[in-house]
Amino acid sequence: MSEPIIRMKNIEKHFVLVIALAGVSVDIMPGECHCLLGDNGAGKSTFIKTMSGVHKPTKGEIIFNGQVMNFERPRDAIAAGVATVYQDLAMIPLMSVSRNFFMGNEPIKKFAGIPFFDHEYANEVTMREMKKMGINLRGPDQAVGTLSGGERQTVAIARAVHFGAKVLILDEPTSALGVRQTSNVLATIDKVRGQGIAVVFITHNVRHAMAVGDRFTVLNRGKTLGTALRGEITPEELQDLMAGGQELASLEGSLGGTV
């Protein structure tokens, strides 16, 4: 197996008296989909925000491509190749797909020394990149707000990949989607992984994780309960870990099997 593209070593994150992460270690390999699972409050959001430069770890190291990284802000992580697609997607619904695709990275051409947005280039790239992900738009000027939730997720993913993501963090991308839209997003994740890009898939849905995941790490109360390869753990066992099955079993025993 190749070396990890990103290694989180003994990461702790303290917020005054609250310990959100208590020594979490996770390796992310190139071209894998690494699923990070856990119930609400498990530490998933804090962990990915630490990986993506939103938070600085209180203790521990982030090693990216063999070098210790000290991300001061998200822009530093993005520049290194760590991109995050959050649930809100940071898109403007009334703006065209191509404008949203290049928002913050606008291609410019000049006429008589005056800079203008290069619509032709932006439209060509947007249509090409979306087609690679299996989405056939009516046109690049289609408003993002007219797309389905799954298609908007795909725009955000395609945008991150086009601008050089080596590690793509997806924060609950399927949580508010229907069955068909979820299938489209999972297929997109599979395409991204096939390009050699590491995908960190944050979810609480075991079925979605099992559909595309290569490895599975469960967080609970700021600690990892371990990492398992595909085939080493069943969906039922994974669900049990997430739900605190050991605690439930202990409680059931103390109550005489009435839980």
Q: Quote the CA–CA distance of 157 and 201 in Å, as a whole number.
A: 12
Residue 223 counted as domain residue = yes
User: For residue 87, what pLDDT band results from cuts at 50, 70 and 90?
Assistant: confident
- Residue 156 pLDDT: 94
Closest Cα partner for 170 from 184, 180, 160? Answer: 160
Mean pLDDT of 152-162: 94
Q: How many domains does the chain have?
A: 1
Query: Does residue 249 surpass a pLDDT of 50?
Result: no
Report the C-alpha gap between 219 and 111 in whole angstroms. 54
If you write DSSP's letter for every residue of 137-151 in order, what string do you get?
-S-TTSBGGGS-HHH
pLDDT at 250: 52
Tens-place pLDDT, residues 18-61 = 899 999 999 999 999 999 998 888 889 999 999 999 999 999 99
Crossing angle of the two packed helices 179-194 and 149-162, in degrees rounded to 10: 10
Q: Kindly report the CATH number assigned to the domain that includes residue 214.
A: 3.40.50.300
Instruction: Tell me what pLDDT residue 48 has.
Output: 92
How large is the greatest C-alpha to C-alpha distance in the chain, in angstroms?
A: 83
Each residue of 98-141: pLDDT tens digit? Answer: 999 999 899 999 888 899 999 999 999 999 999 999 888 889 89
Give yes or no for a contact between 144 and 95, defined as CB atoms under 8 angstroms apart: yes
Length of the chain: 259
Establish if 224 belongs to a structural domain.
Answer: yes
Closest CA to 162 of 246, 78, 63: 78
Contacts of 1 (CB under 8 A, 6+ apart): 29
pLDDT given for residue 128 in this prediction:
95
Asked if residue 54 belongs to a domain, the reply is: yes
At 112, is the secondary structure helix, strand, or coil? coil
Other beta carbons within 10 Å of 206:
23
Band (pLDDT 50/70/90 cuts) for residue 251 is very low
Does residue 259 sit within a domain? no
Which two tokens mark 22? 């208590």
pLDDT (mean) for 203-223? 92
Query: In which domain, by residue range, is 248 found?
Result: 6-92+165-254
Residue 157 forms part of a structural domain: no
Residue 105 lies in a domain: no
**Is residue 131 one of the residues assigned to a domain?**
no
Domain presence at residue 124: no
